[in-house]
A and B are shown apart, each in its own frame.
Chain A
Amino acid sequence: MLDVNDVTLAYGKSRVLEGVSFPTMTDGNLVGVLGPNGAGKSTFLRAVSGLSRYAGSIRLDGKEVSGLPHRDRTRLIGFMPQSPPILSGFVAYELVVSSCRAARPELTGAQVAQSAEQVFEQLELEDLAFRPLSQMSGGQRQLVGLAQILVRDPQVLLLDEPSSALDLKWQVTVFQILRRRLQARGGICLVALHDLNLAVRYCDLVAIMGKGRRIAFGPPSKALTTDVLKDAYDVSGRVETCSKGQPIVLVDGAENTDSTPDGMFKMVSGEK
């Protein structure tokens, strides 16, 4: 169970989170953290991970995250930063194993190897396992970054835009993997993302943020309303149901741009 109450966080004099509270998130929840650029999504995830100091309360199974012993926090919470791992001479498998050995010193080499094998298979990274990161694309490195977190098998996954550099197939695959993982081992997963349709399709709950505050929270079909979209993103849009019964977010246009009556953006002259 994860409880977030009245969390405030500032960088210097600038307040990035302002009294953020969410209803209790329970075991098995995949929660999308949504909002425009600068809404405080990454900062919120960093606060939950215990990497940034905050005021207020973030409790994991009743224990304050900031008060957890360092080693327990690393074991329980896995935070994936927004940028992919840096270009370096590491090969993927070596980086994933090394970072797990640093994060979970109590695990044996064999346990780490077993976990790494599973994660590489899930993410179909076997063919890239011994390729240096300096010879990988941004999307491939992002998958290696995700592997670094999954291999530690934390109870709480905090993923900051894990699919931003991925192609269409892998955007969907990553969320399917996350869903299967939650079903199999439990835990909670918070994912900051910009793609509202991925959130609507795969998340149990969405937390919509704007200017460091909570705008809405709940199941996607209820939380993502026309008013919330306008409030958070300054766009006119709606959530509808497609012919296969899946909810989809349709954006008619930004408030300060022209849009056609049928919901399509106007073509700029010269575009084909």
Chain B
Amino acid sequence: MPPRSLSDRYKRFQFRRLAWLILFVVILAVTFVVNVASGPAGLPVMQVVNGLIDPESLTSALHVIIWDVRLPFAVMAVVVGACLGLAGAEMQTVLNNPLASPATLGISYAATLGASIAIAFDLAGPFGLPEDYVTPLFAFLGAVAAMSLIQLLSRLYGASLEIVILFGIAMVFALQALVSLIQFVADSNSLQQIVFWTMGSLARATWQKILIIAVVLAVCSFFSAMQIWRLTALRGGEEYARSAGVQVERLRLVTLFRVSVLAAVAVAFTGVIGFVGLVGPHIARLVCGEDHRYFLPGSILAGAIILSGASVASKSIIPGIIIPDGIVTALVGVPMFLILVLTQMRKGRR
């Protein structure tokens, strides 16, 4: 048999990565159904599947449980996890740092500050906004304002890696201090709400919120796809990317803007959910490699799987109580992250 050409071997290599993406889709589908099935009123998985395929077959009580309570919760886990996975992956690429996540440049803290202001100063009344949207709106505005400031400073001083990270770290500390200040002056009721908001929860899901997040995810994914080769080249090293015609500073700023919108919209509706944006891309990189045609979809799917899995865990750890998802992702995410890092280190040593 003649030796196979490199392009044939590359096709097989790519097929393996595609197979991993398909496996991710299957795992996500299973996790999604289990997420819908789990809860105080445990439902058989097959009943949930039948109810999703043929809603008319359900009794009215089950219809309400599955379609009005569980499904928004489960879909929210998928879209928010996907947003955080994509945001984390792109952040790691443009900062050339596998430890980066949407929290690195203070986006989550900025959202927390916005939400804290809305809660502590009861801003629903003065602006006449629907109560359900006031906190998310201010959280979103906080995140966008913080990222705009980093963008502005980066444009003024050059969007080099060091400059962006420097401003980001400064932003994290400043925002943490401001959040603490708000908490210090808030009354006990507001303080309780702020603390609960920072724990992150999918329980605030509604179809309208899901639609907003899904549209943002779709638009951002489209623009990521437009820059897929440039992002891949950048991951191969800044100098070689420049040589390949990538305008690195411009790409970095555009991508950071996308990351901030993704993270802001996700965090605004759920509160702070950590580790998904860090661990999701790590898992994706492990099996999909660095080619962003596989890495970004892999990160989106891995993020969705992690948050769906965390959602199941949040309902199952203490029966009858839903633990905030932000707590579960951190508890599950830390050991998972350490295992991944150690596995990669062992592979690197081989």
Contact = CB atoms under 8 A, between A and B. Distances in A.
Contact of B13 (A80, A94, A98, A99): A94
B232 A102 contact: yes
Interface in B258-317: 285, 289-291
A141 to B, nearest CB: 10
A148 B240 contact: yes
Contacts of B5: 117
A70 B243 contact: no
Interface in A108-167: 113-114, 116-117, 120, 126, 129-130, 134-135, 145, 148-149, 152
A102 B234 CA distance: 10
A71 B233 CA distance: 15
Interface stretch (B104-112, B181-189, B244-252, B322-330): B244-252
Interface in A52-105: 70-71, 73-74, 78-81, 83, 85-86, 88-91, 93-95, 97-103, 105
Nearest to B235: A88
B6 A117 contact: yes
Contacts of B246: 102
Contacts of A81: 239-240, 243
Contacts of B158: none
A177 interface: no
Q: Say what secondary structure dominates the interface of chain A.
A: helix
Interface residues of B, number: 28
A99 B239 contact: no
Contact of B243 (A80, A86, A94, A134): A80
B243 A90 contact: no
Interface core residue of A71, A73, A101, A134 (most chain B CB under 10 Å): A101
Contact of A129 (B6, B237, B239): B6
Given A85-B237, A94-B10, A98-B291, A74 B229 contact: no
Given A101-B229, A129-B6, A85 B289 contact: no
B10 to A, nearest CB: 6
Interface of B: 5-7, 9-10, 13, 229-230, 232-233, 235-237, 239-247, 285, 289-291, 348, 350
Given A51-B243, A91-B13, 8 more contacts: A79-B243, A85-B240, A90-B289, A93-B13, A94-B291, A98-B232, A103-B244, A148-B240
Interface of A: 49, 51, 70-71, 73-74, 78-81, 83, 85-86, 88-91, 93-95, 97-103, 105, 113-114, 116-117, 120, 126, 129-130, 134-135, 145, 148-149, 152
